[in-house]
Chains A and B, each alone.
Chain A
Amino acid sequence: MDRFELIRRLQAIVGQAYVLYRPDDLTVYEQDALMVARHTPDLVVLPEGTAQVSDVVKVARQARLPITARGAGTGLSGGAIPEAGGVVVALTRMTRLLELDVASRIALVEPGMVNADLTAMLAPHGLFYAPDPGSQVASTIGGNVANNSGGPHCLAYGVTGNNVLGLEVVLADGTVTWMGGRAHDAPGYDLTGVMVGSEGTFGIVTTVAVRLMPRREAVRTLLAVYETVDAACEATSAVIAAGMVPEAMEILDGIVMRAVNKTLHVGFPEDAEAALLIEVEGLAESVPVLIERVEAICRAHGARRIQTAATAEERLNLWKGRKHAYGAMGRVGRRTMMLDVCAPRSRLAEVMRKVLEAGQRWNIGVANFFHAGDGNMHPTPFFDFDDTSPEYARVIGLTEDIMRACIEAGGTITGEHGIGLEKREYLGWMFNERDIAAMKTVKQVFDPDGVLNPDKVFPTGRPVHGDPRAKAAAAAGQA
Chain B
Amino acid sequence: MTPSPAVETPRVEGPRVEASRAAAAPRARPMPFIPEVETCIHCGLCLNQCPTYRVTHLEAESPRGRIYLVKAASQGELDVTASVAGHLYLCLMCRACETACPSGVQYGRIAEAAREVLGPPGPPLQRWMVRTTLRHLMPSPRRLRLAAGLIRLAQRSGLVALARRVFPGRLRDRLAMMPEVSPRFYAPEAEVLPAIGARRTRVAFLSGCAMSLFFTDINEATVRVLRRNGCEVAIPRGQICCGALNVHNGEADSARAMARRNIDAFPDDVDAVVVNAAGCGAAMKEYGHLLKDDPAYRERAGRFAAKVRDAGEFLAGLGLRTAPQPVSLTVTYQDPCHLAHGQRVRAEPRALLAAIGVRLVEMAGSDRCCGSAGIYNVLQPEMSETLLREKMDAICATGAGTVVAPNPGCMMQLRYGAQRFGIPVRVMHLMDLLDQAGA
Residues of A in contact with B (beta carbons under 8 Å apart): 2-4, 7-8, 11, 16-17, 19-25, 27-29, 31-35, 46, 72-74, 90, 92-93, 95, 112, 114, 116-117, 135, 137-139, 260, 262-263, 323-331, 334, 336
Contact = CB atoms under 8 A, between A and B. Distances in A.
B68 A27 contact: yes
Nearest to B67: A28
Interface in B37-69: 38-49, 57-60, 62, 64-65, 68-69
Given A16-B9, A74-B45, A24 B59 contact: no
B104 A263 contact: yes
A2 B15 CA distance: 11
16 contacts: A7-B17, A16-B9, A20-B9, A22-B83, A23-B79, A24-B87, A25-B83, A34-B42, A72-B48, A73-B44, A93-B57, A137-B100, A138-B44, A327-B43, A328-B102, A331-B39
B72 interface: yes
A3 B14 contact: yes
A114 B77 CA distance: 31
Given A135-B45, A138-B43, A330-B39, 6 more contacts: A21-B9, A22-B17, A27-B78, A90-B59, A325-B102, A331-B39
Interface of B: 3, 7-14, 17, 20-21, 38-49, 57-60, 62, 64-65, 68-69, 72, 77-79, 81, 83-84, 87, 100-105
B7 A74 contact: no
A33 B9 contact: no
A33 B48 contact: no
Interface SS majority for chain A: mixed
- The interface centre, meaning the residue of A24, A25, A93, A114 with most chain B CB atoms within 10 A of its CB, is A24
Contact of B60 (A19, A25, A33): A25
B57 A327 contact: no
Nearest to A264: B102
B84 A24 contact: yes
Contacts of B9: 16-17, 19-22
A138 B47 contact: yes
A326 B64 CA distance: 16
Contacts of B58: 20, 25, 46, 92
Contacts of A260: 102
Contacts of B102: 260, 263, 323-328, 330
B69 A112 contact: no
Nearest to A35: B42
B44 A2 contact: no
Nearest to A326: B43
B263 to A, nearest CB: 29
Task: Decide if the interface of chain B is mainly helix, strand, loop or mixed.
Answer: loop
Contacts of A29: 59
Of listed A11, A19, A27, A325, residue having the most chain B CB within 10 A: A27
Contact of B45 (A28, A138, A334): A138
Contacts of B17: 3-4, 7, 21-22
In order of increasing CB-CB distance, the 8 nearest A-B pairs are A327-B102, A330-B103, A4-B14, A324-B102, A28-B65, A92-B57, A74-B44, A28-B59
B81 A22 contact: yes
A29 B81 CA distance: 17
B65 A33 contact: no
Contacts of B20: 22-23
Given A117-B48, A137-B45, A138-B45, A46 B69 contact: no
Nearest to B44: A74
Contact of A4 (B13, B65, B104): B13
A80 to B, nearest CB: 10
A323 B59 CA distance: 22
Contact of A135 (B13, B39, B44, B103): B44
Contact of B42 (A22, A31, A324): A31
A112 B48 CA distance: 11
A28 B60 contact: yes
A374 B10 CA distance: 51
A16 B8 contact: yes
Contacts of B48: 72, 114, 116-117, 137-138
A323 B101 CA distance: 11
A32 B103 contact: no
A3 B17 CA distance: 9
Contacts of A34: 42
B3 A17 contact: yes
B393 to A, nearest CB: 15
Contacts of B57: 46, 90, 92-93, 95, 112
Contact of A24 (B8, B41, B78, B103): B78
A21 B105 CA distance: 28
A116 B44 CA distance: 14
B14 A33 contact: no
A17 B7 contact: yes
Contacts of B77: 27
Contacts of B81: 22-24
A77 to B, nearest CB: 13
Given A73-B59, A334-B38, A23 B103 contact: no
Contacts of B103: 327-331
B49 A137 contact: yes
A330 B40 contact: yes
B48 to A, nearest CB: 5
A336 B65 CA distance: 20
Contact of A33 (B38, B44, B83, B101): B44
